[in-house]
Amino acid sequence: MDKMVPYPSGAIVPERDVEKTPILETHHLGIDFGGLTAVDEFSITVGRTEISGLIGPNGAGKTTVFNLLTNVYQPTRGTIMLDGKPTAGKTTAQVNRMGIARTFQNIRLFSNMSVLDNVKVGLHNSVKEGFFASVTHSLGYGKAEKKANERALRLLDFFSMADMANADAGSLPYGAQRRLEIVRALATNPGIILLDEPAAGMNPSETAELMENIRRIRDTFNIAVMLIEHDMSLVMNICEGICVLDHGKIIAKGTPDEIKSNPAVIEAYLGKKKEADGNAQG
């Protein structure tokens, strides 16, 4: 199987990980809804510290792929290997613990909870604490809670959000809510993070900051990032490997330069050349 990035590209991460098992592999993944095939023959390999992009026209099945990867949907065909282990039959929560986290196209924070608590929900599985300790604030509670607080604050600080820790998540401005979703996902300590349209609704300067943040996430946490995005300049700028989906099928895979010049991609986005000419004349 081809890696989405076939060779070490760029020197952002000192040692590339071509030798190690990929963080994510899918083989002939497919799902049908009733008679409709939403995704078919989806086979990719994502390296441990790779930034990859999933693009394609509206309705191509990109979010469905994310839902498959996180076991929100159970695949009709094919297998998913996460960190070298199959995810079949696992629950969404179990798959998360195996090392995959995500954000949502429409922000889905716990809006009635504080910013800090949102991150601490993400830390759920890394905090050990007894039932009664949490009521009585005794012994184990203090220690575990202090640790969780520290970690949550450090994560927030990474995105310059520590000063908002006590605000209600729902009251944050839009851009900050998007960032908080990423922080919350990172709190679950994933090996790969899936970002569903992270730049949606952002202005150019916010998008530039987001790009910087995505690189920092990869470099600091040493994890893979996979994103769905319609903003082509963002995708072409930061993704090392790109996978193009159309009508549920992969029509192209490769580096940004390869994708830009791929005739099948141009056709999917702009229509067939003849048609386009015809429209222009008509």
Partner 1 sequence: MTFISNLINGISLGSIYAIIALMLNFAHGDVIMIGAYVSYICTTSAGIPPILSVVIAMAVCTVLGILIEGLAYRPLRKATSLAVLITAIGVSYFLQNSALLIWGSNPKTFSSIVPFDSIALFEGKLIITAESIVTVAVCIVIMIGLTLFTKNGKMGKAMRAVSEDKDAAQLMGINTNSTISLTFAIGSALAAVAGVLLCSAYPVLIPTTGSMPGIKAFTAAVFGGIGSIPGAMLGGILLGIIEIFGKSYISTELSDAIVFAVLIIVLLVKPTGLLGKKINEKV
Q: 192-196 and 224-228: which strand pairing?
A: parallel
Shortest Å, Cβ 126 to partner 1: 9
CA distance 199 to 227: 10
Q: Which is nearer to partner 1, 58 or 112 (CB)?
A: 112
Rounded Cα–Cα distance for residues 28 and 173 (Å): 40
Q: How far apart are CA 105 and CA 199, in angstroms?
A: 10
Report the alpha-carbon distance of residue 229 to residue 35 in Å, rounded: 28
Q: How many residues contact partner 1, by CB under 8 A?
A: 38
Element of type H or E holding 216: helix 204-221
Binds partner 1 (CB under 8 A): choice among 53, 122, 191, 256: 122
CB of 220 to partner 1, least distance (A): 20
Residue 90 as a binder of partner 1 (CB under 8 A): the answer is: no
Q: How far is the CB of 37 from partner 1 (least distance, A)?
A: 22
Verify binding: residue 110, partner 1, rule CB under 8 A: yes
Task: Kindly identify the residues of this chain, within the stretch 240-259, that bind partner 1 according to CB under 8 A.
Answer: none
Q: CA-to-CA distance for 13 and 34, rounded, in angstroms?
A: 44
Q: Check: CB of residue 179 under 8 Å from CB of residue 213.
A: yes
Q: By CB under 8 A, which span of 22-30, 38-46, 128-136, 231-239 interacts with partner 1?
A: 128-136
* Site stretch for partner 1 (CB under 8 A), options 76-84, 111-119, 220-228, 241-249: 111-119
Distance of CA 89 to the CA centre of its chain: 21
Stretch that binds partner 1, among 100-108, 200-208, 223-231, 270-278 (CB under 8 A): 100-108
**Binding test (CB under 8 A) with partner 1, winner from 72, 88, 264, 270:** 72
For 114-261, strand residue ranges (E) read: 192-196, 224-228, 241-246, 249-254
Q: Which residues fall within 8 angstroms of residue 139, CB to CB, at 6 or more apart?
A: 133
Residue 109 or 265 having the CB closest to partner 1: 109
For residue 114, what is the DSSP state? B
Site string for partner 1, 136-175 (x = CB under 8 A): -x---x--xx--x---------------------x-----
Is residue 202 within 8 Å of 167, Cβ to Cβ?
no
Q: How far is CA 13 from CA 51, 149, 217, 263, in A?
A: 11, 29, 11, 31
Give least dist CB 98 to partner 1, A: 9
The residues binding partner 1 (CB under 8 A) are 70, 72, 91-93, 96-97, 101-102, 104, 108-113, 117, 120-122, 124-125, 127, 129, 131, 133-135, 137, 141, 144-145, 148, 170, 184-185, 187-188
